[in-house]
Amino acid sequence: MRDLGVGFRYLLAGQRWMTRHGRQYGFGLLPGLITLVLYAAALVALALWGEDAVTWATPFADHWSSPWQGLFRGFLTAVLFALGLLLAVLTFTAVTLLVGQPFYENLSERVDADVSPDGTAPRSELPLWRELWISARDSLRVLVRAALWGVLLFALGLLPFVGQTVVPVLGFFVTGFFLTEELAAVALQRRGVELRARLALLRSRKTLVWGFGTPLGLAFLVPFVAVFLMPGAVAGATLLARDLLGEEHAEDAEDRADSRDSGGPAAVAGCE
């Protein structure tokens, strides 16, 4: 369970990094604002016409007596909107990252260089169009996986009691996992880590991933919060990616150097 706390600390560390580098922050808000407007329009349309869609999809309930028809269709309309909201949270990050690819790539490099012991950051040798294509392709693959989970959770949501208690909790953990994948992909793709390998890395440290992504997913449910947290979330995900790959941070190198100078455990280990 320690990894849950570590993941959450990376989320906070990313936001703190952005407060120390405010010059980058304003540019980072633009992709999120554009995406937010598009998603808000889609959710408003779902709220306005969701009931009509449910009525069209359930003609078998046309002759049900009151109040069962209204309760049944009202429940399905609520579940449909909840599913749309879940998919919006799952895909918001992917679309925002795609819209703001050049900025977030540069931001992730700056974080890497800032925390790296030698002050350097891994760089992709691919042209921008190729990076955009890979990012869009991988995001679509992740979206398909997330959609399958969404359909499963939708079906489980129809179960009495379980659908109102266990399923929402599972939904937040699923959201947290896929959110983290999308955000960490900025740093991992730059290192040449393919989607399959990225997913394997995340699954190997699921509690770390949940500690980072689940609170972020909950925060993203609050209107406009996602826009303001996105730049810091990318910064925090870069730190998390370094942890997943076992890369050293500058402060870790300093601690080891101090330990060697003082004859501490690291120095002893080096002499064995």
The pLDDT score that the predictor gives to residue 266 is: 42
Amino acid, single-letter form, for residue 1: M
Q: Crossing angle, helix 225-244 and helix 195-204, to 10 degrees?
A: 90
What b/e string do you get for 74-92 counting C-beta neighbours within 10 Å, with b at 16 or more?
A: eebbebbbbbbbbbbbbbb
Residue 64 has pLDDT above 60, yes or no: yes
Residue 116 has pLDDT above 70, yes or no: yes
Q: How far apart are CA 160 and CA 92, in angstroms?
A: 30
177 close to 93: Cβ distance less than 8 angstroms? no
Residue 264 has pLDDT above 70, yes or no: no
Residue 237 has pLDDT above 90, yes or no: yes
The pLDDT score that the predictor gives to residue 138 is: 83
Structure tokens at 242: 């370094």
Give residue 250's pLDDT band: very low, low, confident or very high (50, 70, 90): low
